Chains A and B, each alone.
Chain A
Amino acid sequence: MEEQAKKRKIKNDIILVAALLTVILIVGAFVLIFRKEGNMVKVTVDGQVFGTYSLNKNQTVEIKTEKGYNLLVIENGKAYVKEASCPDGICSSDKPISYTGESIICLPNKVVVSIENGDGTNNGNNGGIDIVS
C-alpha cells in the first residue's frame, strides 16, 4: 500500500513538472514568435518616464537621478547600458536589446530601459528604416 502511494506521488510529481515546463515553453514560444523589432527606447526611473529615444539614431543618454547614474548607448538599432553606478553592474553586462518588450533593468537605481514600438516624438527621427522580421 505504502509503496503504491509513493509511486503515485512520484507520478504526480512528474506530471506537475511536465505541466509547468509545457506552460513555460508555450509562453516562451509565443513571446519568440510575436516579437517585433521596436523603434523606440523608453527609459523609466522609479516608474516615471525619464525619456524616449529613437532606436534608429546612434546616441548616448546619461540617466542621472538621485538614485544613481546609468549610461545608455543606442547603436545600430540596439540599446545597451554601458556604465552604471550601482555596485553589481548587472545591467551593464546585459546583452543589447532591440525587440519590442525587451528590457534592461537596473534594480538599485530603479531604472528600466525598454524597447517599444510607438510613434513617440520626443527625440529623433522616426522615419528611418523599419525592419520587419
Chain B
Amino acid sequence: MRNNALKIKRITLLAMFTSLAIVLSYVEMLLMAQLQLVAPTVFLPAVKMGLPNIVIILILYRLGIKEASVVSLVRLILSTLLFGTITGFWYSLAGSVLSLLVMGILKKMDRFSSVGVSVAGAVMHNIGQMIVAVILLQTSEIVYYMIILAITGIIGGVFVGLCGALLHKRLEKMKM
C-alpha cells in the first residue's frame, strides 16, 4: 500500500513538472517572438533562453537523471505536437539527449554547481543541434550561426542554472 502511494505521488509530481515545463516552453516561445522583432540579429530563430530547462535542472537535483530525462523527452514530444515542427523536433531531440547525458555525468562528478551543469548542458544542446544541422543540410557552413548560438547558450545556461538552484533551495526549505 505504502509503496503504491509513493508511486502515485511520484507520477503526479513528474506530471506536474512536465506540464510546468510545457507552459514554460510556451511562455518562452511568446517571449522570443517579441525579442526577435526587437533585435533580429542577436535573437536568431534558434536562440532560446531555455526556460523549460529550469524545470529539468530542478528535477535533476531533486529526483535524478532518470526522472529528468523522462520529463525532458515527454515535454519535447508534447510541445512539438502543440506548437512545434517535425524538423525542430529532431534538432531538439539531439540537443536534449546530448545535454542530458553530459549533465548527468557532470552532476555525478560533483565538481560543478548547478550553474556549471546547466551551462554545459546548454552548450551540449547547441552542439547536438549543430550535428543535426550538418546531417540534415549537408553543409558545414554554419560557424557564424554557431558562435552566436554558443554565446547566448552560455548566458541562458547561467540564468537557468541560477533559477534552478534558487528553486531547489526554496523548495527544500519548504520541505516539499
Contacts and interface: CB of A to CB of B under 8 A. Distances in A.
A4 to B, nearest CB: 13
A50 B89 CA distance: 26
B120 A101 contact: no
Interface size class of A (residues with CB under 8 A): 20 to 34
Interface stretch (B4-12, B14-22, B143-151): B143-151
A16 B113 CA distance: 11
B119 A112 contact: no
Interface residues of B, number: 28
B41 interface: yes
Given A90-B45, A103-B142, A108 B147 contact: no
Given A27-B143, A31-B143, A114-B141, A13 B45 contact: no
Interface of A: 6, 9-10, 12-13, 16-17, 20-21, 24, 27-28, 31, 44, 47, 88, 90, 93, 95, 101-103, 105, 107-108, 110, 112, 114
Interface of B: 40-41, 45, 85, 87, 111-113, 115-116, 119-120, 123, 136-139, 141-145, 147, 150-151, 154, 158, 161
